[in-house]
Amino acid sequence: MKKILTIAGSDSCGGAGIQADLKAISAQGAYGMSVITAITAQNTQGVFSVEELSKEIIEGQLKAIFDDIKVDGIKVGMLSSKYIIDTVNEQLIKYKGKNIVIDPVMISKSGFNLLRPEAVEALTNLIKIADLVTPNIPEAEVLANMKIETEEDMIEAGKRIKSMGPKNVLIKGGHRMDKPTDILLTEAGEIIKYESKRYETKNTHGTGCTLSSTIASYLGKGYSMEEAVGEGKKYISKAIENSFSIGHGVGPVGHFVELYKKAGVDYE
């Protein structure tokens, strides 16, 4: 069994962050491990507070894992401060992390700022070590310093982000209302488009976390980048189609669709 590590924040309502990552990794038949960078107080209606963990405990978690277990793939999510980003960057270089997928989490769906403004420069430095970086359109606009309205804009933003050093860039197009197309710019210079169906649901909590963790899982299992992204897209589409309402706000996607159905889960 392949071992996949997620480095991210904890979501108390279980729909995103570490919790979503571990569900997604498990659903791909891999073994999930975690390094928690921050604890959030959040539910389906929003993020209410964040408490960051210390440099020492983040380093300690990473050391404990890498000293004992072979890590086949790594997903990096919420890193809210410069010192956390720098710590993760230094440790992943130290331990020669591989199959690194970075989801540059900046703002929650409810509009809560999950990345301090002064940490953006540190994030661009971390991106250099990524095998894949997966920004959505608002995140890509910040990283590329440009407005994105069309597929051509997505490609240009991807090129700008790729020039920062990552091997591959996936611009996620879910925020475009006309067509939710994702665009992969590969290490070899190819531009690959992944068309998606738009499902009529408000329950999309944790989609970015889930997609990036799934891709990291498939890279860890030996799939090519194009194949891993394709598998990730298929899985997240099915999870969104089978999302469900918990709480009064944006509900989670269905990570274990087949298990839920087998257990007779009522999605209503």
State yes or no: is 206 an active-site residue: yes
State yes or no: is 222 an active-site residue: no
CA dist 216 and 266 (Å) reads: 30
At residue 2, the 3 state secondary structure works out as coil
CA dist 121 and 142 (Å) reads: 11
Which residue's entry shows tokens 């924040």? 9
State yes or no: is 172 an active-site residue: yes
Amino acid code (one letter) for 115: L
Q: Residue 4: in which H helix or E strand, if any?
A: strand 3-11
All residues at 6 or more sequence positions from 262 whose CB lies less than 8 Å from its CB, including other chains: none
Cβ neighbours around 51 below 10 Å, total: 11
Question: Exposed, middle or buried, 189 (CB in 10 Å: 0-12/13-18/19+)?
Answer: exposed
Q: Which of 6, 44, 134, 207 is catalytic?
A: 207
| Among candidate residues 186, 174, 183, 168, the one with its CA nearest the CA of residue 127 | 168
Amino acid code (one letter) for 63: K
Structure tokens at 126: 């971390």
| Among candidate residues 35, 46, 47, the one with its CA nearest the CA of residue 8 | 35
Q: Which of 6, 204, 210, 214 is catalytic?
A: 204
State yes or no: is 207 an active-site residue: yes
State yes or no: is 210 an active-site residue: no
Angle separating helix axes 225-241 and 207-220, nearest 10 degrees: 140
Report whether 161 contacts 141 (CB < 8 A).
no
Amino acid code (one letter) for 5: L
State yes or no: is 209 an active-site residue: yes
Q: Which of 208, 232, 251, 254 is catalytic?
A: 208
Q: Which of 109, 162, 172, 221 is catalytic?
A: 172
Q: Which of 14, 15, 206, 251 is catalytic?
A: 206
Q: Which of 17, 23, 40, 209 is catalytic?
A: 209
**Residues annotated catalytic, as ranges:** 172, 204, 206-209
